[in-house]
Structure 1
C-alpha cells in the first residue's frame, strides 16, 4: 500500500480529510530531537547518522541541532525551541555556555517529565563560572541523568587516561532488559572509562553495562557505563558514558543506542535488527575529558 492509499484508508476510518490523516500519521511517529555541542567527540557527525537510520528504518521523525557556527562554539545552539514538540530529547553536550533564553527550552522540556538520553560528556554539559547565576546548570548531568554533577570536584568524576580503552560487559541482573536486546555479553570500546563511583549513579538507577579500564594511567575500579533512571520530574532517563566515534562503529553499541531511543519513546525495541550502520567518523578534536 503506497502512502496516498494509506492516507485515504486512514482518513476514511477516522472520518478525516486526507490532509488531516497525513498529520495524524506524522504525529504517531515519535519525534526525536538531538542536541549536539561537544569539542571533542564529533557528536555533530555521529548522531545525524543515527537520526537518519531512525527515519529510514524505524519509522521515527528526527531533528538534529548543532552548535553555531561549529562544535567549538559554546554559546549558541539554534533551534532549541524544537524541544517543545519532542517526544525524546537526546543530548551530547560538553561545557556549553548557553544563554538563558536557550536554557529555558531545555528547562521546560525537563520539567515536562519527558524522556532524556545522554552521551558521555553530557555529564559535564555546562561550565558556567563562579558568580554566574546559570552555574546550577553545571549539575545538569546529575539532575537529568543521575550522573556526577560536573567534572572533577568532590564527586571525583574523572577518567583513566587517554591511552586507555574499556572492556564492557552486560551486568547479569540486567541481561533481560529490553535495552540490551542483541547487545553482546561483552565488547570492547575505544572510550576511556569514566569514573562515576562511589556516589553515582543513584541507588534507584538500573545498571545495564559495566566497564573495566584497559591500560589505565592510575589505579582503576570498575564503573557502570550505561544505566536508566527516573529523574525528579518523572522523566525516563538513559545515560551512557561511552560515545567515542569508534564506539559508534561497534554493532552492539549501535543496538544499545537504537534500543534506548525506542525504550525512551515508549516503543517496543526492534524485534528484527535492521543491520549495522556505517559510522566512520574521525576522532580528532583536542582531547581533554
Structure 2
C-alpha cells in the first residue's frame, strides 16, 4: 500500500483552495467571478426596455459566458424617481443604459456618477440620449445632458435639433463603407430595415472623433429628412470606450442585424473577441406599447 503523508495532502488541498479563491483555473474551469458582469439599467416609458433587455441578458449568460444583472424602474416603467439596485454598478464591468426622462434622487445618481467617472465602458440605447429630465433650476439639472457626457449624443431632447421624423416613418439602415471591417459589425448585413423612426442627431452629434458604424435613412418622414448616424463608437472624456445606438424600438430587436450588433458591441467594449460563430437569432417578441400612463 502506498502511504501519502497527511501533511502533503493538506498542503495540496490548501493550494487548490487558494487557486479557487483568486479565480485561477484548476482543471475544473474558471470560477464564476472571472466572468465579466454586465449591468443593464432600464426605465424608458415607451420602448419596453425592461422586457427586451432581460432577453438579451439571458442570451449573454446562456451562450456567451457573461454574468448579468437587469435593474429597472420601480414599481413600473413610468416610475421616474426610483431605480432600486443601482449600487450594483460598483461591481459592473460594463453598464448598459436604456432610460428616458428619469428624475432620480441624488443618492441613486451617485452610483451612476461613480460609474461614469471610473472610465469603465458604457453602452446605451435610443432614449438614453434624453435619459433625465429635471426642471430648470433643479439641483440635478446638469444630468439632463447625460447623453452628451456618456455617449456623445445630443444633450437632451429637442436641443441641437434632436427630434425624429414621425411615428408613421420607419428606417433603412446601412453599414458605413469605411467601417465595414469593424469588429462590432461582424456578421451584420450591409443593409437592413427597422420599424423605428429615425432620430435626428446631426449636425453636431456624435462628436467628430466618434467612429460612425451605421447610417439611417428615414422612410415616409413627416418632414424634410436627412441621413443620420444610428450607431457609433467613441471614447468619452472619462476615457471610457463607448457604443451607442439610436435604435431600440422593441420591434427593432426582432431584426437579427441589431441583435448581432448588440452582442458584438458588448464583447468589443469588454475587450473580448467578437464571436466568430453566431449562436442564432434571439427570440424577442415584444410589441411596441407607446407611452401608457
TM range (shorter): over 0.9
CA distance in 2, matches of 1:21, 1:272: 30
For these two proteins, the number of residue pairs brought into alignment is 275
The aligned runs of 1:6-25 (5 Å cut-off) are: 15-17=15-17, 20=21, 25=31
Asked if structure 1 preserves the Cα contact closer than 8 Å seen for 2:23 and 2:34, the reply is: no
TM-score by length of 1: 0.92
How many angstroms does 1:52 deviate by?
Answer: 0.3
Equivalences for residues 176-255 of structure 1 within 5 A: 176-255=181-260
Q: What are the superposed Cα offsets for residues 30-50 of structure 1, whole Å, 9 maximum, x if unpaired?
A: 100000000000000000000
Q: Does 1:120 align with 2:121?
A: no
Corresponding residue for 1:98?
104
The secondary structure found in structure 2 opposite 1:15 is: helix
Displacement, 1:15? 3.2
Displacement of 1:25: 1.8
TM-score, normalised to structure 2, is 0.91
SS of the residue 2:234 aligns to: strand
Counterpart CA distance in 1 for 2:33 and 2:283 is 29
* Deviation, structure 1 residue 21: 6.3
**Could you say which structure has the larger radius of gyration?**
2
Supply the RMSD in Å over aligned alpha carbons: 1.6
Shift in Å at residue 20 of structure 1? 2.4
> Any unmatched runs of 5+ in structure 2?
1-11, 25-29
Which whole-Å deviations, capped at 9, do the CAs of 1:172-216 have from their partners, x for residues lacking one?
A: 000000000000000001110000000000000000000000000
1:61 to 62, 67, 76: 67
Q: Which runs of no fewer than 5 residues in structure 1 stay unpaired?
A: 1-11
* Residue in structure 2 matched with residue 3 of structure 1 by the alignment: none
Q: Which 4+ residue blocks in structure 1 deviate beyond 6 angstroms?
A: 21-24
CA shift for structure 1 position 13: 11
Find out whether 1:130 has 2:136 as its counterpart. Answer: yes
Structure 1 residue 285, shift from structure 2 partner: 2.6
> Quick one: distance in 2 between partners of 1:282 and 1:69?
20
Candidates 43, 56, 61, aligned match of 1:50:
56
Q: CA deviation at 1:22?
A: 6.3
Corresponding position: 1:267 with 2:272: yes
Match of 1:37 in 2: 43
